Amino acid sequence: MTARIAVAAVTFDRPKELAVLLDSIKAQTAAVDTICLVDSGTTPARSIAEQHANVDYVRSEANLGGAGGFALAALKAVASGARWIWMMDDDAVPADPECLATLVREAEARDLEAVVPLVTAPGQPDRLSFFFRLDGKVTHDRAEVEKLGFLPDDGHFFNGALIRSDVFFKVGLPDMRLFIRGDEVDFTIRLRQAGIRFGTVTTTAITHPHAFTETQHVYGAGWHVIVPESAFKRYYYYRNRGYLIRRYFRVRSFVADVGGYLGYFLQRRDLPGLLAWARTFSTGLRGKGFGPLEDQKF
C-alpha cells in the first residue's frame, strides 16, 4: 500500500507563483493526498486554492511569517494522517514531475526520516540558490555538489524537504518565534540533536529564488557573512543568529559572526551598519525582541 503524502505549504501575496506551485504538485507522478496551505497574505488566495480539490485552505489573519506558517501547515498535514509531509514555499517549484517520487524512493532506499532535494536558481539550473560548504569553501556550483551523490546530515529546509510525520513528534514544529530567517537552521539543529536520519540527495531538485548577493566574503573564500538587502530581513536574520547561538551555545558561530561582521562593516567604514548589527545581534543573544510583527522595530 502506498504511503499517504501531504504537502505543507505557505503563501503570502504571491498568487501567480502559488498557482504555478499547485499545478506542479498536481502534475507529480507520486500522488499527493492533501495540500495543507496556510495563507497569511494581505489579499486572500482562496480562489486559487479552490481550483484544486485536495487543497485544505487555512486563512490566517495574522502574519505568521514563514516559521509560523510552516508550523501550522505541518501540524495540519500531520493531523491528516499522512506518513510523509512535503514542505513547500509558494515561490518554489519542483524541477520535474518525478521530483516527489524520487524523494520517496531515495528516502526508502537510504532509510531516511527526512530527505531534501537540491535547490536551484530559477533560469539557472546549474547554480544552487543556497550554498554548500565543501572543503571549507562555499559553493553554488550544482555540478560540484552533484558528484557527491548524497550529503548526510545536511540540507536546506524547508523548500522541498520530505519529512516523515513522526519526526515532528520527536523534534517539534518550526519555531514561530523566529518568524523568518533562521527557523530552518533551528529545525536542522534539532534534527541532528535527536539523531534523525536525513540528508540531501542530488538526483532531483526544486527551483527557488536565490540569495547570491547576500553572501559577502570578508577574509577570502573561507570566511563570509550574510547581509540581507532590506532592514526587515536584516533584523530577523541578525536577531535569530544571536538567539540560536545562545540557545545551542554555538561558540564557533559566535566567533565567526563577531569577527566576520566587525570585518565587513569596518572594511566599508559603515559605523551605522555595525551598530545596527550589534544592537540586533545582542538582542537575540539576550533572548529578547520576540513578538508579533507589528511590535518589531527595524
pLDDT in tens, 79-128: 999 999 999 999 999 999 999 999 999 999 999 999 999 999 999 999 99
Three cell numbers, residue 226: 550574510
Helix residue spans in the chain (DSSP H): 15-26, 46-49, 65-79, 99-110, 142-146, 166-171, 183-193, 231-248, 251-267, 271-285
Alpha carbon distance 70, 12 (integer Å): 12
Of 174, 207, 240, which residue constitutes the final position of a domain?
A: 207
> Would the pLDDT of 137 be above 90?
no
User: Is 19 a residue whose pLDDT tops 80?
Assistant: yes
Q: What is the domain-level CATH number for residue 181?
A: 3.90.550.60
Establish if 257 belongs to a structural domain. Answer: yes
The verdict on 52 and 200 lying in the same domain is yes
**Quick one: 157 and 140 in the same domain?**
yes
Question: How many other C-beta atoms lie within 10 A of the C-beta of residue 34?
Answer: 19
193 shares its domain with 228:
no
Summarize pLDDT for 34-64 with one digit per residue, the tens.
Answer: 999 999 999 999 999 999 999 999 999 999 9
Say whether both 68 and 23 belong to one domain.
yes
Q: Structural domain tally of the chain?
A: 2
- 192 and 47, same structural domain? yes
Examine the domain organization and report whether 55 and 123 are in the same domain.
yes
Asked whether the predicted pLDDT for residue 1 surpasses 60, the reply is no
The verdict on residue 293 lying in a domain is no
Residue 198's nearest CA partner among 111, 83, 126 is: 111
Residue 191 reports pLDDT greater than 60: yes
Domain of residue 53: give its range: 5-207
267-290 tens-digit pLDDT: 999 999 999 999 999 999 999 999
Tell me the C-alpha distance between 273 and 266, whole Å.
Answer: 9
Please, which contacts does 125-132 make with residues 24 or more away whose CB atoms are closer than 8 Å?
125/95, 125/205, 125/207, 127/210, 127/212, 128/210, 129/207, 129/208, 129/209, 129/210, 129/211, 130/156, 130/210, 130/211, 131/215
Give yes or no: residues 176 and 103 share one domain. yes
pLDDT at position 37: 98
Same domain as 203, residue 75:
yes
Same domain, 227 and 100: no
Domain boundary (181, 207, 233) is at: 207
Domain shared by 231 and 113, yes or no? no
Q: Report DSSP state, residue 266.
A: H
Domain identity same for 200 and 231: no
Domain-ending residue, one of 163, 185, 207: 207
pTM for the complete prediction? 0.94
Cell numbers found for residue 243 = 538567539
- Of the candidates 126, 244, 129, which has an alpha carbon nearest to the alpha carbon of residue 192? 244
Shared-domain flag, residues 199 and 277: no
